A and B are shown apart, each in its own frame.
Chain A
Amino acid sequence: MIWKDLGRLSRMIIHLRRLSTLRAVNSQRIAPRELPSSEMYHFFWIRRETKVSDSLLGAENFFFPEEMVDEETPQVTKRMTRSCFSTTHSNSSTETRKKSDPRPLSTTDDSVIGEEPTNLDTLLSCFPGRRLQIVELLHLIGPLNCPMLPLFLYGGASTGKTSILLQVFRHLKRPFVYSSCRTCYNPRILFESTLNQLLLHRRNMENSYSSAKRCERPADFVNFLREALTDFINNLKGYVRKSNLKESVEQGDGRMVYLIFDSVELIRGWDKNSGIISLLFKLHDILKMPDVGLIFISNTSPDTYYSNTGYVEPIPVHFPDYKEDDLIQIFMRNQKNQKLYSSFLETVLRPFSRITKQADELSTAFQPLFEKYCEPISDMGIAPNDDMKRMLFGHLRPHIASALNEVFKVSSVSSVKVEAIEDKARRKDSIMKLGTGDASNELDLHLSISAKYLLISAFLASRNRATLDASLFDSTGGSDSRKRRRKSSGTTMEHKENAEKEMLMKGPGTFPLERLLAVFQCLISVDESSVEEEQQAASQLESEDREMRLMSDVLLQLSTLCNANFISKGGSCPLEGSTRYRCNVSEEMAMKVARRLKFPLSKLSAAKFAELLMVYVFHTGSDSILIFHVDVFQTWGGGISRSPCASISAP
C-alpha cells in the first residue's frame, strides 16, 4: 500500500514539477536576454537556500517540488537497485568500483581543464563575446543539486559550444559524463562509452580493452544506465554525507550528474538512427531521475530534428557566430606584441571575415600570414607606426588574395641536404608559394603514353556531345575535322547555343566504355604518324603491331585512371556493359597532359569552352550571373574552390 501511494505521489509530483519548470522555461523563452540577471539569480538563490536547509522542505514543497522528488524517488530506486545489484552484477565491476575513488569523474582527482576551478570572471574573460551564453547556461544549469530540464546547445562550428560548457562545469565543479557522437560513431560505442564513464571502468591490458558492459540495444542501455546512475548518485550522496555538508556545498560537488552528448547532429547520419535520437531526447522522461541533467550539443538548430513525439523539448541555447569585434578579441588574446598584431588584424580580418567567421579556420589562415607580415621586421617587440603599417601592408597584400582562395595550403620542409630530387621539388614549391597553386606548366606526374591518350579521350568524350564525335574524329584525321566542325557550327546557331547552355549547366557528361574506346582508337591512329616521325629508327616494329599492343591492356589503364580519380565510374557490375564513365579532370590538367604528348587538344575542345562562357556572359549581360557561372565553371574545373566570389570581388 505504502509503495503504491508513494508511486502515485511521485507521479503527481513529477507532473507538478514539469508544470513549474515549463513555466520557468516559458518565462525565459519570452525574454531570456531582457531579464535582468540579478533577478534570475535571486530566483535561484531562493531555491538554493531551501535545499541547504533540509528542515524547510515541507513548506516549500509546492513551489519546489523537485526537492521532494530528490528525497523520495532515490530511496525507491535505491532499494530496488541494491537488490538487483547483488544478484545481477558481475563481481568484476563491483571490484573495480570499490577500488576506485567513490567520488568519480572529473572534478576532483584530475583537473578538468586546468588545475583549479575557475571563477566566473576568468571564465567570462576566456570567451570574449560569449557573456550572454555563459550566464544563460549558468542559470539553466542552476545551483547545486537543482534538477534541470534537458538543454540543447546549438550554433555553427567553432563557436565555442563545447569549450564553454566544459569550462562552465569546471567552474561549477560538478561531475559529468561526456560522450561525443563523433568519437562514438555508432550506438553501441555511444552506449558503452557512457556506461564506462559512469561505472568508472577503465580499459586496459588486463581486461583486454573491453567495455564494462556489453550493450547494443537501446532497451539494455536504458536499464544499465538507470542502474549505473542510481549507483553513481548514491555514491555521490554517501560522499556528501560523509564530508561536512557545508564544505561540500561550497566546494560545489552536489549529487547531480550531468550527461553531455556532443555533436548530436551526426546521429542523423547513422545507419539505424531512427531510435537513437528520440531515445536520447526522451531519456529525461524515461529515466525520471531528477539527479540527472541532460545536455545536448549540436551544430544544427533544434528544428532540424523531426522531434516532438511526446517528450519534453529541451531548452535551446543558441551560440551565434562571432562578430568581427569578438574575433578581434579572440585573436588578440595570447599575442605577445599586441599592437603589431592588431595592425595585422586590421588589414586581414575584414576580407577574411567575409568568407568565414569560424575562429579555427581563420586562425589557421592567419598564422602563416602573420609570419609573412613580420618578415620585414627585425625586432618583434616593435610598436608599428603608420608608415610602418603601410609598408607592412604593402608587403602582405599580394599574399592575401592567394590565401583567400586557398583552403588547403601545403608547405614543404627544406632540409640541409640537397639532392637532385628535392631540389626539383623545392623549385616547384617556390613557384607555388608565389600564389597560384598550379602555375607550373609541367605535369609532375608519370603517366604512360597510352594512359595519357586514354585520359585525353575521356576528357573529350566528357566535354563533347556524342553527336559531335563523328565530325571531330574522321578517318582522315585532325585537319579535315576542323573544317567540318566549322561548317556544322554555321548551320543552326540558336539550337546549338541552347544545347551548349545546357551542357554548361550540367557539367562534364558521361559516356559508355565503347565510346571511350572508339575515341581512344581515333586519337591513337591520328597520332601514330607523328610518333613515327619522332622515333622512326628507334622503333623498327611495324606500326600495326604497336597499335595492337597499345590496345591490349587499355582496360587496365582505364582502371588505373579510375583509381586515381581521374575518371569516375557509375554502375555496378563490370560485366554488364552499361557502366558509364565521367572524366573528372580539370581542363588545365588535360591541357598539361596534351602538351606532353604534343597533342592538339585545344583545337578539339579547350577554346570552345572559354568561348562558350564568354558568349553566355555577353548574352545575359549581368554581373551576378557572371559570378554564378564562374562559380559553376570553377566547380567543374578543379574540385570545390571555396571562394569564387571573393576572388572576383578582389580586383
Chain B
Amino acid sequence: MAPSATPDSPPATPISDNEENSLQPFFVLHKGVPQISERKASGPGKTRRKICLSPTSPTAAEKSKVDVVDEEDGHQYKQLRIEAFDLVWSRIENTIKDVLREINISVFDEIHSWLRQCFSTIRSSGTPGVSEITRSYPLFTDLTCRQIFTGLVFTRNVEFVDDLLTFQELGEHLKSCGCHVCNLSSLDFSTKNGLGGCLRSLLRRLVMVTPETADIAILASWYCEEGNCSPLVVIIDDMERCSGSVLAEFIMLLSEWVIKIPVILIMGITTTIDAPRSLLPSNALQKLCPCKFTLGSPAERMDSIVEAVLLKSCFGFTVGYKVANFLRNYFLKQDGTVTSFIRALKIACAKHFYMEPLSFMARGFLEDDSQSFWSAKCVHLPEGVLKCAFDLPSCEKNKMAEETSENLANGLSDLKNSVKNWASVVLCLYEAGKFQNMLLLDILCEALDPALCNSNALDNHVEIGNDSAKPSSLDHYPLGGQYAGLRKGSFISQAVSRVRDLPLVPLSQLLKNWRKQSKEITELQDKVKELQSMLKHEENGKSLTRAAADTLKRPSRSAWNMEKDTKTVNDKAARLMLYMVRKYLKPIECVPFHEIICFKLVDILQSTLIGDPRRRIQLDLLNSRNYLQCNCCSKSGDAILPSMHDTSILYTLAQEHGDLINLHDWFQSFKTIVLQPITKGKQKVKKSPSSKKGKYMNDSQDTSEALIQARFCRALTELRITGLFRMPSKRRPDFVQRVAFGL
C-alpha cells in the first residue's frame, strides 16, 4: 500500500537521515514537532512564545523558570544546551548503532560462511571459462546443481522499517568480504516494470551502466571481466512485498544461468516460512535451495538498546516513569519497531534539552571526573540559575541545604551515583528475570515507578537502625509477596521469587552475572562473593556426598541435607536481591535535581508521536476560528458564518446528518449559509436540511449560482481528499457517505 510505504521508503539512507525523513509526516500533520526544528534556526524569544501557545505546555512553574533564565542570559545557556544535546545525542546514537551491529554481527558471519560454502559447491564441478559463461545456451550439468542457493533471513517483525539498515549493513559486510553485492528492494520487483525493471536495477547497481536493454547476458560478460572468482550476492530486502510473478520470473531466469553466474540470493522475510510458499509458484520454488537465518527479534533488540542507553552508562539523559511506560506501550501496542522507539527517544531528548534550562549540566555525566566538572561549572553559575536549580520540585520536597554552588555540585554527584546504583540493581533484577523470559523494558518501567521509592522510604525509616549497621540484617528481610514495597505479581517480586527456586547451576551463573553487574557497589560485591563461596563450598560438598552416596548407596539423608542447604543459599540470594532493591533501587524521580537529566512530560511525547491526524483534521475543521482568529468569527461563537472557509462550513453542516448525506439538501443549506448577508452575520442560523428556500437575495442569484456550485464542489473534493467522505456510488447517486471514524 502506497500511503504507508512512503515514509519508510528511502531505503538507502543511513539511520539519521532516515529519521529525518520519517519525521516528515509529523511536520505536516501536527504542530508539535516543528518547534524542534525551529529551535536551532530561530531566535529564542519567538520559539518561547510558541511553546506557550502549545496545548501541552509545561507547568506554570517551569514556564516562569524559562522566563527567568531566558531573560538573563538566555542566549548563552541556550547555546550551551544545544551543544549538550548534540553531544549527548551523538553519544546515544553511536551506542545504539554499536548495539544493533553487535546483535547482527554473529548472524552476518554465519551468512558469510554459508555463502562461501555455497560458492564452493557451485564451483565444485569446475570453473567455467569466459567463453562458456558468455555463451547463450545453458551448460550441460547435473540436475541437482541447477538450484539457486537462497538464504532466507527472518526478521521476525512484520514492520519492515527496522531491517532496512540491517540489510544495508549485511550488504556492506559481504562486500568487505569480497563478494559482489547488490541490494534490491521490493520496489524493483513491481508488476509495472516487470522483469525488465528488476534486471535493469540489478545491472545498474552491479555493472554501473544503464543499458538500453536489460539483458542478463550483460551481467555474464561483466562477471567475466570482473575476474570470475567471487560469488554474486543479490539481497532482496522484503520479499513479501515483491510481486510474486516478477520474482518468480527472475528466479527462473537466474536458474538458467546459475552455474555460469554464481548468483546467491538472500531474501528478507518478515512473516513466516509460508511466505515464499504462498508467493511463488512451485516451479520457481523448485529452483531455490533455501537456508534459514534468523535475526534478533525486536524485543531482544529493544532490550539491548534499553540496556545500553538507559542502564549501562548514564549519558546525562534518562526518562521518567510515565514516559517509559508510554514508550513501552507504544512499542508493544502500536508500532513495534525499534526505529520508532529510537525516534521517540530522540524527540524526548530534544524536547528535554530544549525545555529544561539546567540541562546543559548534563554534560557532566559524560565526563570521567564529573565531580570536578560540576564544581568548576557551578562556581560560575549566576544567582538566577542557582535559584532555578534549587527551585526544582524535587529539591523543594526535601529542602536540604543552602543554595550554594557546592551543594548543587554535590547534589549532582549524588544523583549520578544514585542513578548508577539504581541501574546496576535493575540489571541484576534483569539477570534474574531472564530465567522467566522477562523483558527488560517491563522491569525498567516498574523500577522507575516513584511509588516504589515512597514505600522504600517508609520501610527505611522503620528499620533504619537495623540495616545500616550490620549487613547480616538481610536475613531479616521477609520474602516475596509479603514485602510491602512490592506489589504482588509485579515483575520485580516475580524475579525475586524466581531466585528462590533456581537450581544450583543457574544460581551460580546468576551470581557470577550479579558480580559483574554490581561492580560499582562494593558492598554488594562483597556479599555476592560471600554467597558464591558458599555455593562453591556446597557444590563441592554435593559432589562429595554424591560420590559417597554412590558408594554407600544411602543417598537419602545427605541428599536431603543438600537440598536444604541449597535452599538456604537460594534464600540468601533472594534476600540479597530484596536488600538491593530496597537500598539501591531508588527511582530517579525521587532523587533531588533529577529534572536536569530526566524527561517526564509524557503528553508532549504522546502528541508528537501519535499525531492522530484524522481526529485532528476533524477537530480543526470544526474549530477553524481558533486558528484563523479573524475578527468576524471570534464574536459569533458557534454559529456558521459565510465568511468561514467553505470546507469548514461544509463539514460543520455535515454534522447534522447521519452516515448518509443527501447532496441536494447539503448543497441547499450550504447555499443558504453562503448567501446570508454578512451584515446579519451575528444572528444564529438554524440550518436543518429542509429549512432554506429562497432566503438569499434575488439579484445576485444568477451570478452566484454557478459560483456557489463551484465552491461547493471544491469544498467537497477537499473533504474527500482528507478521507472524510466517500463519493456517491452508482447505487445511490444522490448521497455521499461519511467514512471517518472516531469522532
Interface residues of A, Cβ cutoff 8 Å to B: 106, 109-111, 113-114, 157-158, 162-163, 166-167, 177-180, 182-186, 188-189, 192-193, 196-197, 202-205, 208-211, 214, 260, 262, 334, 359-361, 363-364, 367, 407-413, 415, 417, 419-422, 424-425, 429, 437-438, 444-451, 513-514, 517, 521, 537-540, 548-553, 555-556, 558-566, 569, 574-578, 584, 586, 589, 638-640, 642
Contact = CB atoms under 8 A, between A and B. Distances in A.
B3 A574 contact: yes
Contacts of B138: 162, 166, 180
Question: Considering residues B138, B225, B322, which has the most beta carbons from chain A within 10 angstroms of its beta carbon?
Answer: B138
B627 interface: no
Contacts of B615: 548, 552
Interface string B261-291: 0000000001111111111001101101111
A483 B211 CA distance: 67
A556 B103 CA distance: 28
A113 B158 contact: no
Interface stretch (B326-334, B369-377, B477-485): B326-334
Contacts of A184: 215
Given A110-B135, A364-B144, A407-B285, A421 B158 contact: no
B20 interface: no
B129 interface: yes
A113 B110 contact: no
A183 B257 contact: yes
A446 B252 contact: no
Contact of B278 (A182, A367, A448, A640): A640
B136 interface: yes
23 contacts: A113-B139, A162-B138, A180-B138, A182-B252, A183-B215, A183-B257, A202-B134, A204-B221, A211-B212, A334-B142, A364-B144, A364-B286, A429-B292, A445-B156, A446-B299, A449-B333, A553-B612, A564-B271, A565-B275, A566-B271, A584-B278, A589-B274, A639-B278
A262 B143 CA distance: 18
Contacts of B291: 410-413
B294 A422 contact: yes
Contacts of B431: none
Interface residues of B, number: 112
A639 B134 contact: no
B250 to A, nearest CB: 10
B160 A563 contact: yes
Interface string B128-164: 0101101111111011101100001010111110000
Nearest to B2: A574
A205 B218 CA distance: 10
Interface string B425-443: 0000000000000000000
B256 A565 contact: no
Question: Considering residues A209, A410, A540, A574, which has the most beta carbons from chain B within 10 angstroms of its beta carbon?
Answer: A209
Contacts of A360: 143, 146, 286
Contact of B221 (A109, A209, A260): A209
A114 B140 contact: yes
Interface stretch (B403-411, B464-472, B719-727): B719-727
Given A182-B253, A412-B293, A552-B610, A359 B143 contact: yes
B209 interface: yes
Contacts of A537: 487
A478 to B, nearest CB: 21
Nearest to A550: B333
A581 to B, nearest CB: 11
B334 A550 contact: yes
A410 B160 contact: no
A564 B333 contact: no
A458 to B, nearest CB: 13
Nearest to B7: A556
Contacts of A186: 196, 213
B325 interface: yes
Nearest to B144: A363
Interface stretch (B359-367, B590-598, B735-743): B735-743
Nearest to A330: B143
Contacts of A575: 720-721, 723
Given A114-B140, A417-B110, A438-B274, 6 more contacts: A189-B213, A408-B276, A421-B295, A445-B271, A446-B298, A549-B333
B336 A419 contact: no
B296 interface: yes
Nearest to B282: A407
Nearest to A565: B240
B339 to A, nearest CB: 13
Nearest to A447: B158
A376 to B, nearest CB: 23
Given A438-B273, A450-B333, A553 B293 contact: no
B137 A421 contact: no
B587 to A, nearest CB: 14
Contacts of B113: 413, 415
A360 B144 CA distance: 7
B446 A560 contact: no
B4 A560 contact: yes
Given A210-B212, A446-B157, A539-B325, A562 B144 contact: no
Contacts of B211: 208-210
A539 B3 contact: no
A560 B282 contact: no
B176 interface: no
Contacts of B331: 448
A537 B493 CA distance: 15
B344 to A, nearest CB: 14
Contacts of B288: 408
A357 B106 CA distance: 41
B195 interface: yes
Contacts of B213: 186, 188-189, 192, 211
B1 interface: yes
B490 to A, nearest CB: 8
A515 to B, nearest CB: 12
Nearest to A545: B606
A447 B271 CA distance: 10
Contact of B297 (A177, A446, A517, A577): A446
B323 to A, nearest CB: 13
Contact of B1 (A415, A569, A638): A569
Contacts of B294: 421-422, 424-425
Contact of A551 (B144, B209, B720, B741): B741
Contact of A209 (B110, B114, B209, B286): B209
B559 interface: no
B4 A556 contact: yes
Contacts of A556: 4
In order of increasing CB-CB distance, the 7 nearest A-B pairs are A639-B278, A559-B4, A577-B726, A448-B336, A178-B137, A559-B1, A113-B140
B546 interface: no
A421 B296 CA distance: 6
Given A209-B207, A417-B106, A560-B159, A192 B131 contact: no
B709 to A, nearest CB: 22
B729 interface: yes
B106 A419 contact: yes
Contact of A109 (B131, B289, B741): B131
A205 to B, nearest CB: 6
Contacts of A204: 221, 225
B498 interface: no
A417 B143 CA distance: 34
B135 A565 contact: no
A331 to B, nearest CB: 10
A445 B211 CA distance: 41
A551 B140 contact: no
A410 B291 CA distance: 5
A411 B290 contact: yes
Contacts of B5: 559, 563
B89 interface: no
B333 A448 contact: yes
Contacts of B216: 183
Nearest to B333: A449
